[in-house]
Amino acid sequence: MDTPIESSTFLAARRKSPWRTIGLGIGLFLLLGTGFAVWWNWAFSRAMHDVFTGKTGPVSEQADWPRPLKKLLNDSGGIEINESAIQVHCLCGGVYDKEFVWRMDAAPGLFELLEKRWKLTPINGPDWGVLEGYASSMTRVQSPAWWSPQDDDRTSFYTSPRGAYNEYGGDLFLVAVNEGRSTIFVYFRYKF
Q: What is the DSSP string of 85-123?
A: G-EEEEEEE-SS-EEEEEEEE--TTHHHHHHHHTT-EEE
Whether residue 161 is predicted with pLDDT greater than 70 in this model: the reply is yes
The residues spanned by each domain of the chain are 4-52, 57-191
Q: What percent of the chain has pLDDT over 90?
A: 26
How confident is the model over 166-175, as pLDDT tens digits? 444 577 888 9
In the chain, what percentage of residues exceed pLDDT 70?
76
Q: Which helix (H) or strand (E) holds 105?
A: strand 98-105
Mean pLDDT of the residues in the chain: 80
Chain centroid to Cα 97, Å, comes to: 8
Cα–Cα distance for residue pair 124/163, rounded to 1 Å:
19
Q: What pTM value is reported for the model?
A: 0.70
pLDDT at 183 over 90: yes
